[in-house]
Amino acid sequence: MKTIITYGTFDLFHVGHIRILKRLKEMGDRLIVGISSDSFNNIKGKKSFFSYEERAEIVLSCKYVDDVFPENNWEQKESDIIKYSANIFAIGDDWKGKFDHLKKICEVIYLPRTENISTTDIKKQLSNISESELKKIESYLSQVNEIIIAISR
């Protein structure tokens, strides 16, 4: 069985996330996803819209993902690869070269990201929205989250 492992924050889950998870799943039999915990995001200076628990539930509901676990620090990747018997570590090419040291224990692949979409861009666009429009969007996102949870059951 070929196991693929990847990591990410996966906040404001979007089509770019779906496409990269699909490409990763096509590489093997099992896809395991490390999701940045809220405390790790704080260390990185990031703030997620959804909590770790919500993001984990959303990602796990994706048909391409077999399991998720919390990413709590930069250093855990090597032990995670061993723990999950991962054959391939894959991540977006914006990290190219940063994880080459893992090549001693598995194959390392940097995948091109989906063009013209990113969580950062979405957050920038949302920051230009009025308070009333933002409340509507928050309500819609909450409803989408509930639908995803309902569908995954």
Residue 151: closest CA among 57, 65, 48: 57
Least trusted range by pLDDT, from 91-100, 102-111, 132-141 = 132-141
Per-residue confidence (pLDDT) for residue 84, from 0 to 100: 97
pLDDT in tens, 6-61: 999 998 777 888 989 999 999 999 999 999 999 999 998 888 888 999 999 999 99
Q: Model-level pTM greater than 0.85?
A: no
Classified by CATH at the fold level, domain 3-152 comes out as: Rossmann fold (3.40.50)
In the numeric block, which tokens belong to residue 140? 């819609």
CA 148 to chain CA centroid, Å, is 16
**Catalytically annotated residues:** 44, 46
In the numeric block, which tokens belong to residue 33? 């996803």
pLDDT in tens, 58-71: 999 999 999 999 99
Q: Residue ranges per domain, the chain?
A: 3-152
Q: How confident is the model at residue 147 (pLDDT cuts 50, 70, 90)?
A: confident
